[in-house]
Amino acid sequence: MLNSSLNINIGWLKNPICRLYDNLSRLRVYLSSFILMALLNPMPNAWSTVVKKASLESLVQQAQIIAHVRVAESWSPKTRGKQGEIYTYTRLIPLSTWVGQTVHDELLLVQLGGQIGELRLEVHGDAELKAGDEVVLFLSTVRKHLPVPSDRELKSVQVVNLVSLAQGAFFVNTASQERGDLRRLKQNLDGLVFYSEPAKTLTLKEPTHLKKTQELWTLKTLQEKVQSLKKGRAQ
């Protein structure tokens, strides 16, 4: 009777210990696999902004102004926002307005992030514009006032925001051999990580990158596509 009781007690102690050892062994295997995957497939950027991939249709739908512009200058006002925000203001000179209307000779793009002295606020995945750039921008005109004073004397400008961070900016390759509206466009999407909405049911599909390569736009083809999408929405 005593031996039977002793055996039960030993079994009661042994089973949790075995389960704990088994769980620790599995955890070690999982961690080893995770580290191996991380080494083989490192993240493109340690600091990124997670967003939904914007289609050209969605960019056209959200934008009140779509324009081919030249960047005049950019700066960060010394005044910070109520929560300590730093902003960057960029003067844009419209070269051609594809959609919407510009009510002044210049646009003033307002972006969150910038640098005041040694203090820097960075929004990963937003478009970085510098003086002299030619770029097609998808812009929102919702903002009517500047969040902080500009620190510079400005003539009449129209305040705008960029749609979908860097996804709303198509840079003109000014160094290419093509001229005019045959010049190619490119996007810089570094700092963006895209997510997709989970499907309600699991379906197996071919990888999209194997079926279709990324569209190579020129000023001409992008403008034609934008106008076609805009016309289709108006009908």
DSSP 159-213: EEEETTGGGGEEEE-TTSS--GGG-BEE---TTEEEE-PPPSS------HHHH-P
> In this structure, what DSSP letter does residue 39 have?
H
Q: How confident is the model at residue 34, as a pLDDT?
A: 45
Using 50 as the pLDDT threshold, list the residues of the chain that sit under it: 1-10, 12-13, 29, 31, 33-40, 207-213
Residue 119: burial class (beta carbons within 10 Å; 0-12, 13-18, 19+): exposed
Pair 168, 111: CB distance under 8 Å: no
Would you give the distance in Å from CA 54 to the centre of its chain?
9
Q: How confident is the model at residue 20, as a pLDDT?
A: 55
Q: How confident is the model at residue 210, as a pLDDT?
A: 41
Q: How confident is the model at residue 112, as a pLDDT?
A: 97
Q: How confident is the model at residue 86, as a pLDDT?
A: 98
Q: How confident is the model at residue 219, as a pLDDT?
A: 97
Q: How confident is the model at residue 88, as a pLDDT?
A: 98
226 contact partners, CB below 8 Å, separation of at least 6: 56, 60, 66, 98, 99
Tokens of 113: 């992030």
Comparing CA positions, the residue from 112, 108, 114 lying closest to residue 144 is: 108
Q: How confident is the model at residue 48, as a pLDDT?
A: 86
User: pLDDT tens, 192-227?
Assistant: 999 877 766 655 555 444 444 456 899 999 999 999
User: pLDDT tens, 73-99?
Assistant: 999 999 999 999 999 999 999 999 999
> What backbone phi and psi angles, to 5 degrees, belong to 48?
-145, 160
Q: How far is CA 204 from CA 18, 52, 207, 214, in A?
A: 39, 21, 9, 22
